[in-house]
Amino acid sequence: MRRFGWLLVLVLGFTMCGAAYAAFPPIPAEEINPGFVYIGPIGDGGWTFMHEKGRLEMEEKYPGVKSVFVESIPESHDAARVFETMIRNGSKVIFGTTFGYMDFILEVANKYPDVIFMHCSGYKDAPNMGTYFGRMYQARYLSGLVAGKMTKNNKIGFVGAHPIPEVIRGINSFTRGVRRANPDAEVQVIWIFSWLDPAKEKEAAKALIDSGVDVLAMHADTGATPQAAEEAGVYVVGYNNDMSAYAPTKHLTAPIWDWGMVYKETIGQVIDGTWAPKHIWYGLKEGMVGLAPYGKDVPDSVKELVEEEKARIVSGEWDVFYGPVKDQSGEVRVPEGSAMTDAEMLSMNWFVEGVKGELPQ
């Protein structure tokens, strides 16, 4: 992978700040009929649930806009048909909410140049296709601080969906937080190779608990990990939304999304005629990512620490992957005084010091 590093940076550099696209002409609110395509059911209690929340917030802000959605569309060529069916039924803006839709969005976007496409978490764009995502790593770092302070035996477990840069970045930033709060703690990772498989997620969580961890964290789409944690009586850091409903007594906090922000902004721009494709990557500062309310066991001293660190990130004084950053083998990857670029973070493919686990090579 390493010898391709320069290539990645080049490709990303080109896509991130490359060709400036022209703005689209305005579309009246009644004619937009935005279509949302979800990978899971809106009741998954996590990823899709939060996108649906964002969609509803958007409709509330723009009552003239009538949006539609389709649930449980796999990351296969079936997605292309759903996009096209939405367009044939009057949608002028399409939101695809999972990485695996990327090629299919591009395919349909090339076929319908007058329709606007927004792809969540991808890197490809077109004159009518932009991307949106958030600096979740910043919120994950804060949740790591909490986990690091709450562990008694310094063993923390992490249930990861797919070994892709998004999740690896999440685990790394979480671990950076953990180590900042507690330099002796380690984070053990298990991959489940699926976004949406509550049974597998729960099994992985149980396996980690059996191996002796006393705090769990997760990056998948459902509330299965918090459920397992509550049953076993270990602390848990959720993801996507406030997952305390799944673990009423053991939920510490969760790094959460505010997708409504992007949906409102995009629809507003489409109505005004100012929409042009770009790569949205908002963070703590803009408020697109944040932390869910703390559980009752989290002491005030921990909350203060989180506030201090958050202030440093929001002010721009510091960010999670500022050097020095060491990898698992102890080698310094980011020297003191420098920081990882967005492109490097987006293609992150190695674990930082403190993570126990392997990446498939």
Partner 1 sequence: MRLSLKVEPRLETSRLLGLMIPVLSLVSALAMGAVFLHFMGVSPAKAYSTIVRASLGDAYGISETIVKAIPLTMVAIAVMLAFTMLIWNIGCEGQIFMGAIAAAAAVRYCFVDNRLVMFAIMFVLSGIAGGVWAAIAGFFRAKWNVNEIITTLMLNYVAINFFNYFIYGPWRDPTSLGFPMTPLFPDTARLTCYCGTRVHAGLILALLLPLVFWVVLRFTRWGYEIRVMGENPKAAGFAGMSYVKNVVLVMFISGAIAGVAGMCELSGLQGRLQAGFSGGYGYTAIIVAWLARLHPVGIILVSFLLGVLLVGSETLQIVMRLPVSSMLVLQGLILFFVLGGEFFRKFRIRIVTGGGHRASPEALKEGE
> Using H for helix, E for strand and C for coil, what is the string for 66-79?
CCEEECCCCCCCHH
The span from the CA of 108 to the CA of 151, in Å, is 48
Q: How far is the CB of 1 from partner 1 (least distance, A)?
A: 7
- Applying the rule CB under 8 A, the residues between 45 and 74 that interact with partner 1 are 68-74
The alpha helices in the chain, defined as continuous H runs, are 5-17, 29-32, 47-61, 78-88, 102-111, 136-150, 165-181, 198-210, 224-232, 260-272, 300-314, 342-346
Does residue 103 interact with partner 1 by CB under 8 A? yes
Count the Cβ atoms, other than its own, within 10 Å of residue 98.
Answer: 24
From 34, 35, 54, 177, residue interacting with partner 1 (rule: CB under 8 A)? 35
The span from the CA of 16 to the CA of 14, in Å, is 6
Nearest-angstrom CA–CA distance, 150 and 236? 10
Site for partner 1 in 135-154 (CB under 8 A): none
* Sheet containing 279-282: order of strands: 68-70, 35-37, 93-96, 116-120, 129-134, 279-282
Is there a contact between 220 and 201 (Cβ–Cβ < 8 Å)? yes
Tokens of residue 353, six digits = 């010091």
Q: Please identify which residue in 16, 53, 57, 75 interacts with partner 1, judged by CB under 8 A.
A: 75
303 exposure class (CB count in 10 Å sphere: 0-12, 13-18, 19+): middle
> Which of residues 77 and 312 has its CB atom nearest to partner 1 in the complex?
77
Binding range to partner 1, per CB under 8 A, among 2-10, 146-154, 277-285, 312-320 = 2-10
- CB count within 10 Å of CB 157 equals 30
**Considering CB under 8 A, how many residues would be counted as binding partner 1?**
44
Q: Does 77 bind partner 1 (CB under 8 A)?
A: yes
- C-beta of 165: minimal distance to partner 1 in Å? 5
Q: Candidates 1-9, 137-145, 252-260, 282-290 — which segment interacts with partner 1 by CB under 8 A?
A: 1-9
Strand 215-219, strand 155-160: pairing: parallel
Interacting stretch for partner 1, rule CB under 8 A, among 35-43, 149-157, 251-259, 316-324?
35-43
Nearer to partner 1, 7 or 311 (CB): 7
Exactly one of 347, 352, 353, 357 binds partner 1 (CB under 8 A); which one?
A: 347
Q: Are 345 and 137 in contact (CB under 8 A)?
A: yes
Are 324 and 334 in contact by the 8 Å Cβ rule? The answer is: yes
Does residue number 123 form part of the binding site for partner 1 (CB under 8 A)? yes
* Of the residues 301, 315, 329, 361, which one makes contact with partner 1 according to CB under 8 A: 361
Q: Is 258 in the site for partner 1 (CB under 8 A)?
A: no
Q: Is the peptide bond before 277 cis (omega within 30 degrees of 0)?
A: no
Mask for 272-311, x = binds partner 1 (CB under 8 A): ----------------------------------------
As a 3-state breakdown, the chain gives helix, strand, coil percent values, each rounded to 5, of 40, 20, 40
Smaller CB separation from partner 1, 80 or 142: 80
Closest approach, Cβ 344 to partner 1, in A, equals: 10
Provide, rounded to whole angstroms, the least separation between the CB of residue 252 and partner 1.
29
Binding mask 150-189 for partner 1 (x = CB under 8 A): ------------xxxx--x---------------------
Indicate whether 345 belongs to the interface with partner 1 (CB under 8 A). Answer: no
Interface with partner 1 (CB under 8 A): 1, 4, 7-8, 11-12, 35, 41-42, 68-78, 80-82, 84-86, 88-89, 99-100, 103, 123, 162-165, 168, 193, 346-349, 360-361
